[in-house]
Amino acid sequence: MKVLAFISILSVSFCSAANILAVVPSPAFSHQSTFWPIWRELSLRGHQVTLLTTDPMRNRSLTNLTEHNFHDAYKHSEELNSLINTANFLVLIQSVPNYVADILTTFFGSEVVQDLLKNNSTKKYDLVIVEGLFPEFLIFGDVYKCPTILIHSADTLPSIHKVMGNSMHPVVYSMKYYACRGTLNITFLDRLGSTLYYAFLYVVRQFHINPVRHTVFKKYMGPNAPTIDELTGKADLLLLNIHPVLHGVKLLGQNTITFGGGVHIREPQPLPKNIKSFLDKANNGVIYFSLGSSINTSQMDDVKKKTIIDTLRPLPYRIIWKYEQDDLSNIPENVMIVKWAPQQDILRHPNVKLFITQGGQQSTEEAILNGVPMLVLPFITDQIPNAKKIECEGLGKYVNHKPTLSKEQFKSAIEEILNNHSKYRERVKEFAKLLLDEPMPGIEKAIWWIEYTIRHKGAKHLRNPIVDIPMYQYLMLDIIATVFAVLLFMITILYLLIKTIKCFVSYIKQKSKSDVNKKKQ
Does the pLDDT of residue 74 top 80, yes or no? yes
> Which pLDDT value is given to residue 181?
59
What percent of the chain has a predicted confidence (pLDDT) above 70?
A: 93
Q: What is the identity of the amino acid at 477?
A: L
Q: Is 179 helix (H, G, I), strand (E, B) or coil?
A: helix
Does the pLDDT of residue 492 top 90, yes or no? yes
Q: Residue 224's CB: how many other CB atoms inside 10 A?
A: 6
Average pLDDT over residues 208-230: 94
Is 69 within 8 Å of 40 (Cβ atoms)? no
- String of b and e for 325-351 (b: at least 16 CB within 10 Å)? eeeeeeeeebbbbbeebebbbbbbbeb
E strands of 30-181, at which residues?
48-53, 65-69, 127-131, 148-152
pLDDT digits 0-9 by tens, 379-432: 887 888 899 899 989 999 999 988 889 999 999 999 999 999 999 999 999 999
Instruction: Output the pTM of the full model.
Output: 0.89
pLDDT digits 0-9 by tens, 19-55: 999 999 999 999 999 999 999 999 999 999 999 999 9
> Which pLDDT value is given to residue 11?
43
Residue 371's region, left for phi above 0, alpha for psi from -120 to 50, else beta, is: left
> What's the rounded Cα separation, in Å, for the pair 441 and 124?
31
5: confidence class by pLDDT, cuts 50, 70, 90: very low
Does the pLDDT of residue 176 top 70, yes or no? no
Residue 145's region, left for phi above 0, alpha for psi from -120 to 50, else beta, is: left
Average pLDDT over residues 347-373: 96
Average pLDDT over residues 262-280: 95
Mean pLDDT, the chain, integer:
90
Is 472 within 8 Å of 478 (Cβ atoms)? yes
Query: Got the DSSP string for 306-355?
Result: HHHHHHHTT-SSEEEEE--SS---S--TTEEEESS--HHHHHHSTTEEEE
> What's the rounded Cα separation, in Å, for the pair 202 and 28?
24
> Which pLDDT value is given to residue 295?
80
Q: Is 65 helix (H, G, I), strand (E, B) or coil?
A: strand
Give the residue from 68, 160, 50, 56 showing the smallest Cα distance to 107: 68
> Which pLDDT value is given to residue 178?
58
> Which pLDDT value is given to residue 167?
85
Strands 335-338 and 127-131, how do they pair?
A: unpaired
Give the residue from 362, 421, 379 showing the smallest Cα distance to 396: 421
Exposed/middle/buried for residue 190 (C-beta within 10 Å: 0-12, 13-18, 19+): middle
Q: Is 150 helix (H, G, I), strand (E, B) or coil?
A: strand
Is 263 within 8 Å of 442 (Cβ atoms)? yes
pLDDT digits 0-9 by tens, 189-203: 888 888 888 888 899
> Which pLDDT value is given to residue 85?
65
Query: Among the listed ranges 77-81, 142-146, 177-181, 250-254, which one has the minimum average pLDDT value?
Result: 177-181
> Which pLDDT value is given to residue 508?
86
Average pLDDT over residues 492-518: 85
> Which pLDDT value is given to residue 197?
85
Q: What is the identity of the amino acid at 159?
A: S
Q: Is 28 helix (H, G, I), strand (E, B) or coil?
A: coil
12: confidence class by pLDDT, cuts 50, 70, 90: very low
pLDDT digits 0-9 by tens, 313-328: 999 999 999 998 888 8
4: confidence class by pLDDT, cuts 50, 70, 90: very low
Is 25 within 8 Å of 461 (Cβ atoms)? no
pLDDT digits 0-9 by tens, 89-130: 777 788 889 999 999 999 999 999 999 999 777 889 999 999
